Structure 1
């Protein structure tokens, strides 16, 4: 086995000369469908730039990869144009030799070495050797050659620039001959200049992605849902078995620096008062449900709210793909596992249902399920009924639709259990008009309900489109009233506490305390010395002309 075989996503392809290449290819191992991952020549984005206005341009990998956002004259849509400096003919020859060197001539890798780091180091050594042997310079850029070697071996090949761009949320390839689409945080959905021109290239790349995720995809098993290195979520289909335009894939990118509750306030997704209300509910182990359609930001909001959890609480999170990131130490992170066997065999499979059941043995203060859509929902509601706090998300476009889904197969939650959902939030992507009169699509929590014993949801907050602000009627909250009764304090004291916490949220925002680790530290200090912290907050807000 060569060193490239140890890197997830690669099947060897190389030759010791152009004449021997075909003969060698026949002898090398292939993917299950016979597709070989070709790294001898990088797939490049189209270089013909569309006519139009360049509205933004930024560097991804200096100086070899730039991105331009172009407003196309012909289509009036934004285009995500990747400008990668291409290899010259001489550089391509050397690039191929470096790849062959990596396949045939590298030494043994150390036991504890990272394969990708090792191969990059060996690539640098190969380039140094070729550079020393070169009789003429030919204006060769050795750094550029190394960039492409890293792009293909260590990175994501033709979509590497997309994976490196922190402004992108989603990457979608819909088939052969079609541009890859991306979802940009500022410009939303738009095509790129990356196009797979034939079935073999695209299918090979999908197999490569599957291997990177440690999974298998083939004609026999043409559907894949997996997690890529870095926590990115991959959904893929193979060949034309179920997708008529050929292999296809979508990657939901995972932020290394996750959006926090302060980011949500800054973006207008929630208000400081709403954040304080949710914080108070979590502290008292109330249950909340986040609803929305695909891509609305449900998991991001869930993760942000969980940043507010009391430091001494024990949390168990249960997910199919690990997306939740928490700063606390008393956190058990459970993830499902696919079956070892193929086909309909369930050997070794561990489902959400299994994990929700076992989570009760951990004696958690809060059980979090990334998303409910099956029988695990029933077990979660059973756990909530025994006094555990709970949080989850569900695909639904309204509270009525969510309740119908919960009470119908395969979830089958008895209607009498629905009031266990103490609070429900709807997050949507909505048009928001700015002060300059322009409109852009933004994420907003549009409605907040509480569900009391009557099972009828009661709106206690909503987003006003005309003013772009959240209007809350917390004095009418059944949940806050029940907490006041349990603590034997007045409702006004509860509202004062939430008002103080809203001031604390504004203080975090004004001081740009947005990193989830820093927020956790501030929350810890709040619980340890609330009067001291609130005095500081009140003084600082006073200097800004505000009060708690």
Structure 2
């Protein structure tokens, strides 16, 4: 007998029928034994002070940040309203119904939107068929159906929390860890209790990314729906504690240059300096360790590009987001062949070579690690602008990496790097004396024609300000010479643009498309934007004193 016939038999025909929902559910239990109940977070909240509480999906999931009395560390506690036994049985039946009776996916329709729509229809159908059910919360059942089928299952609340950057599972019986923008790394109350549950979940993540993971191919690097970056291992082939995964979340609303000014990652003057540099196709290299914010900084700087420039970006995993339509986004592809064969593989090297055929104004490589660096530097030498990131802890370490295998950049090419930035995770002390972790652009170098790096900017840890010697900039002098523009005008223009950034921060104009719109209008009519900015800044105190009496924290000579 089909599932629809079973559902029709659950129609309320009498008062007696409406009193015994549990017996009706049992009639179709044979169809739903294989469907698992949703995995739930641990219910016992750790003892300690609740530092912060906010809703993730009201009223079904709430996040608590607890300062644990036992360990003295912050704990991210997810409070999800659990399903009752009766609701679990109904949940299983609806999921089974969706598996067999859901409609067809429309052309171009988002699969998650399709699943959510079909789930709502199924829940409404079951609700009508089962009649009055005062002990059943249908909206709660719908929440869990969408969480498990259209969402990310047990970690769905973590994926929905915009305050989280990374989600990491280190094995069975180990709490999932998250990296919070405010509280940094901390454990959660979400734990995979069995190897089977964790293995199944890693396979689900692989399927969501359109990739394959198995004992034969136990390592996965892929992109999840929404652009989130996934790295995973399967079973105990390469990780002693069994399957593992890490998700680096991609924000739908990316961090912009105005956000970074607000976070004090950089100053308005540094932002204006970078704007001037990238406008004149100067090459920018961003350095830092893993998780320091290199790609975030790169993405925010690229949003300052002139509107008529053509951009080609090349990445392993698509993370860059730009507001312009004159943008070609290229992504590498791993080999589809088994064993040591590299059949079908498309590397960053292949894509950088291909990008030259597109006649780009600026070529961006998400991160240089191998032979693609050589082709990138060759393209820069022919007049293209460029920007990229590299894992390095200093300018000397970056140059050594670039000139050593597998990149093998000739030392004569090093001066093609015009500007190098170091971004780091640092600890700063607030007005109350509390230490917090944050990110700062800590050093800025310019590379002279003989390959010598000259530091022109730094972050002062004691004052928590950025100091930039605009007047000593070698690159600005070269821009002045090549554009045949008076150097004094360029210096003044940088300060004017710094005022624009202060105004954008004051007005909280932080969306990347809104910022791009202001920049485009600035190119058309700089005086109108400046007049508006100065008028609104003049009536509001900036609220921040810079070092040495300089408005922008410029180092006094």
Partners of 1:545 and 1:174 lie apart in 2 by: 48
1:139-174 Cα shifts (integer Å, max 9, x gaps): 111111111111111000011000011110000000
Matching residue within 248, 252, 256 for 1:256:
252
Instruction: Check conservation: 2:220, 2:231, Cα contact below 8 A.
Output: yes
TM-score (norm 1): 0.92
Matching residue within 133, 139, 151 for 2:135:
139
1:91 deviates by: 0.6
Report the secondary structure of 1:543's partner residue. Answer: coil
1:24-58 Cα shifts (integer Å, max 9, x gaps): x6xxxxxxxxxxxxx53111100011101111111
Partners of 2:132 and 2:536 lie apart in 1 by: 66
Matching residue within 448, 472, 480 for 2:444:
448
Cα gap change, 1:454 to 1:91, in 2 (>3 Å): same
Taking the TM superposition and a 5 Å limit, the aligned residue runs for 1:34-73 are 39-73=35-69
Q: Does 1:372 align with 2:368?
A: yes
Instruction: Check conservation: 2:32, 2:93, Cα contact below 8 A.
Output: no
Taking the TM superposition and a 5 Å limit, the aligned residue runs for 1:156-167 are 156-167=152-163
Structure 2 counterpart of 1:467? 463
Matching residue within 203, 206, 211 for 1:207:
203
1:251-294 Cα shifts (integer Å, max 9, x gaps): 00000001111111010001000001111111111101000000
1:210 deviates by: 0.4
Q: Does 1:537 align with 2:526?
A: no
Partners of 1:442 and 1:394 lie apart in 2 by: 20
Instruction: Check conservation: 1:475, 1:491, Cα contact below 8 A.
Output: no
Structure 2 counterpart of 1:34? none
1:138 deviates by: 5.1
Q: Does 1:291 align with 2:287?
A: yes
1:534 deviates by: 2.1
Q: Does 1:124 align with 2:120?
A: yes
Cα gap change, 1:533 to 1:176, in 2 (>3 Å): same
Q: Does 1:86 align with 2:82?
A: yes
Instruction: Check conservation: 2:32, 2:96, Cα contact below 8 A.
Output: no
Unaligned runs of 5+ in 1: 1-14, 26-38
1:484-537 Cα shifts (integer Å, max 9, x gaps): 222334432221111111111111111211111111111111110122322332
Cα gap change, 1:98 to 1:257, in 2 (>3 Å): same
Partners of 1:481 and 1:463 lie apart in 2 by: 23
Cα gap change, 1:367 to 1:111, in 2 (>3 Å): closer
Partners of 2:105 and 2:425 lie apart in 1 by: 49
Partners of 1:434 and 1:118 lie apart in 2 by: 47
Q: Does 1:515 align with 2:511?
A: yes
1:119 deviates by: 3.2
Q: Does 1:401 align with 2:404?
A: no
Cα gap change, 1:210 to 1:472, in 2 (>3 Å): same
Instruction: Check conservation: 1:314, 1:364, Cα contact below 8 A.
Output: yes
Matching residue within 447, 458, 468 for 2:454:
458
TM-score (norm 2): 0.90
Structure 2 counterpart of 1:225? 221
Count how many residue pairs are aligned between Structure 1 and Structure 2: 519
Structure 1 counterpart of 2:546? none
Partners of 2:529 and 2:113 lie apart in 1 by: 46
Partners of 1:338 and 1:437 lie apart in 2 by: 49
Partners of 1:145 and 1:535 lie apart in 2 by: 55
Matching residue within 480, 491, 494 for 1:495:
491
Matching residue within 425, 429, 438 for 2:425:
429
